[in-house]
Amino acid sequence: MLEQNSSNKSIMLLILVLVLVLGYFYYSQFIQPTQLPIEPPPFSAMDDLIVFKDMTINFSILDDSRFKSLRIFGESPVRPGATGKRDLFAPF
């Protein structure tokens, strides 16, 4: 009886070690994170910034009377202060 009990423990230990080894190989070898193929951006023969080569800025808008009539409203620069409610759920 003692020999059979020792044999059962050895078989259970062997099965446990086998399950651990198989689990390790399964999770380390076969399961890989899904990787989506990322396409590189299309390569164009001409640089996209060449479009802006002949661009000019018309500064005459700064001399317009409507632009000069604009005024600052409020404080400038804005100074942050104590704003808002202390208790958002208060009835007042």
Q: How confident is the model at residue 45 (pLDDT cuts 50, 70, 90)?
A: low
Segment 78-86 mean pLDDT: 76
The set of long-range contacts for 20-23, using a CB threshold of 8 Å and a minimum separation of 24, is none
Please, which pLDDT band fits residue 30 given cuts at 50, 70 and 90? low
Q: Are 67 and 61 in contact (CB under 8 A)?
A: yes
Strand stretches in 12-70, DSSP E: none
Flag whether pLDDT at 2 surpasses 60.
no
